[in-house]
Amino acid sequence: MSNAADGPIFVATWDFGGQAVRAAWDAWQRSRGLEDACVEATAAIELDPAIPTVGIGGLPNREGVMELDAGFMRGSDLRCGSVAALRVTCPAITVARRVSQLPSHTFLVGQGVDQFAIAEGFERYDPDALLTDKTRDEFAQRQAKVARKQADAERMVGHDTVGVLGWHAGQTVACVATSGLGFKRPGRVGDSPIIGGGLYADDTAGCVVCTGIGEELARHAVAVRVLDAMKAGAPPNEAGGAVLRMMIDRDPANASRGLALIAIDKAGSVGAATTRSRNHEFEYHVCRAGGFERVDPDPVQ
Ligand code: GLY
């Protein structure tokens, strides 16, 4: 898919990606800022309590507490910021972007990121306010099943990460946010905030965001591998497909684990790659200068 328009391109993961790219386009029309647009789009998904895997109303850990992860990266100068296990505020992406503006730090976690967010004046939430009645109910049901030994306490529940990519005139931005795997151990962090694992942006090659089982995506440094393949000249679809196939060659179980990524190369070509998920099919959404499209990529073979 190549860029035919002069305007910006936004790409976002999953069904809620349609809402995300519309939010990005609205923000772009107001500010003409690529970063603002991508951050606002990611934040819009985090703040929507009806979206069950991200931000408010996301999936709590096995103690019933929401822990949010997010990452931000700008391709012009590789400025980046990540947060993990953030418990006191939302959207996490705005805190990640603020971290990226610090002179030295790039990654804050746990108590440190909670303290940072409060000191920086982000709205403080009662951690319980990040849960909805639905998530409380699901958590209670799960606890009851674990107590009756009808569910394995070690089995985490899948999730759909919001990833938003932006491109304009060769400039790139990558944003990602998630509540992580449901019923994870407190402090568990997946790929999302890991620069090179869950996201990467470098204007010399493009930008990438991943979604799926974070342990697999992080251990294979998927985002930076896809970026490197695009830098070597592969189109985004091919670059992403080659990396997922490499992961499947290494461990055939990856074929059905639910792994996906979206990418834009430095010229503005858009692509994606996905495995065949047992639960639901991956889709992504694209906005090119105000035109919107849903794409359902074929899983890698
Ligand atoms: N891909 C998000 C996570 O594993 O937490």
Classify residue 129: in a domain, yes or no.
yes
Average pLDDT over residues 68-83: 98
Q: Which atom of ligand 1 is nearest to the CA of 212?
A: 1
Parent domain of 219: 4-295
Classify residue 42: in a domain, yes or no.
yes
The per-residue pLDDT for range 96-135, each reduced to its tens digit, is: 999 999 999 999 999 999 999 999 999 999 989 999 999 9
Q: Which atom of ligand 1 is nearest to the CA of 189?
A: 5
**pLDDT band for position 1 (50/70/90)?**
very low
Average pLDDT over residues 139-151: 86
The total of structural domains in the chain comes to: 1
Q: What is the predicted pLDDT for the residue at 156? A: 73
Among 176, 181, 183, 279, which residue has the most ligand 1 atoms within 8 Å of its CB, making it the best to mutate? 181
The per-residue pLDDT for range 196-246, each reduced to its tens digit, is: 999 999 999 999 999 999 999 999 999 999 999 999 999 999 999 999 999
Q: What is the predicted pLDDT for the residue at 5? A: 54
pLDDT, mean over the chain: 94
Residues 6+ apart with CB under 8 A from 117: 83, 86, 88, 89, 95, 124
Average pLDDT over residues 143-158: 81
Classify residue 79: in a domain, yes or no.
yes
DSSP string, 39-97: HHHHHHHHT-TT-TTSSTT----TTS---EEEEEEETTTTEEEEEEEE-S-S-HHHHHH
Angle, helices 92-100 vs 110-119, to 10°: value is 80
Q: What is the predicted pLDDT for the residue at 25? A: 97
Please report, rounded to a whole number, the percentage of residues in the chain having pLDDT higher than 70: 97
Q: Which two tokens stand for residue 190?
A: 């997946």
Q: What is the predicted pLDDT for the residue at 152? A: 81
Please give the C-alpha separations between residue 7 and each of 3, 33, 71, 171, 175, in angstroms, as whole numbers. Answer: 9, 12, 25, 12, 19
Distance 181 CA to ligand 1 centre (A): 6
Residues 6+ apart with CB under 8 A from 238: 229, 271
Does residue 20 sit in helix, strand or coil?
Answer: helix
Distance 219 CA to ligand 1 centre (A): 12
- How far apart (Å, rounded) are the C-alpha atoms in residues 62 and 281? 26
Residues 6+ apart with CB under 8 A from 138: none
Q: Tell me the residue length of the chain.
A: 301
Q: Which atom of ligand 1 is nearest to the CA of 184?
A: 5
Classify residue 300: in a domain, yes or no.
no
Catalytic positions: 161
Please give the C-alpha separations between residue 84 and each of 81, 107, 176, 187, in angstroms, as whole numbers. Answer: 11, 8, 12, 8
Distance 169 CA to ligand 1 centre (A): 30
- How far apart (Å, rounded) are the C-alpha atoms in residues 16 and 72? 19
Residue 184 identity: K
**pLDDT band for position 278 (50/70/90)?**
low
Distance 151 CA to ligand 1 centre (A): 21
Q: Whose CA is nearest to atom 4 of ligand 1?
A: 214
Using the structure block, give the residue that is written with the tokens 């910006």.
8
Q: What is the predicted pLDDT for the residue at 301? A: 79
Q: Which atom of ligand 1 is nearest to the CA of 210?
A: 1
Tell me the Cα Rg of the chain. 18
Strands (E) located in the chain: 9-13, 68-74, 79-86, 107-109, 162-168, 171-178, 199-202, 206-212, 259-265, 270-274, 284-288, 291-295
CATH code, domain with 55: 3.60.20.30
Q: What is the predicted pLDDT for the residue at 184? A: 92
Distance 32 CA to ligand 1 centre (A): 30
Classify residue 301: in a domain, yes or no.
no
Identify the residues whose C-beta falls under 6 Å from ligand 1: 161, 178, 180-181, 190-192, 211-214
**pLDDT band for position 91 (50/70/90)?**
very high
Q: What is the predicted pLDDT for the residue at 231? A: 98
The per-residue pLDDT for range 184-196, each reduced to its tens digit, is: 999 999 999 999 9
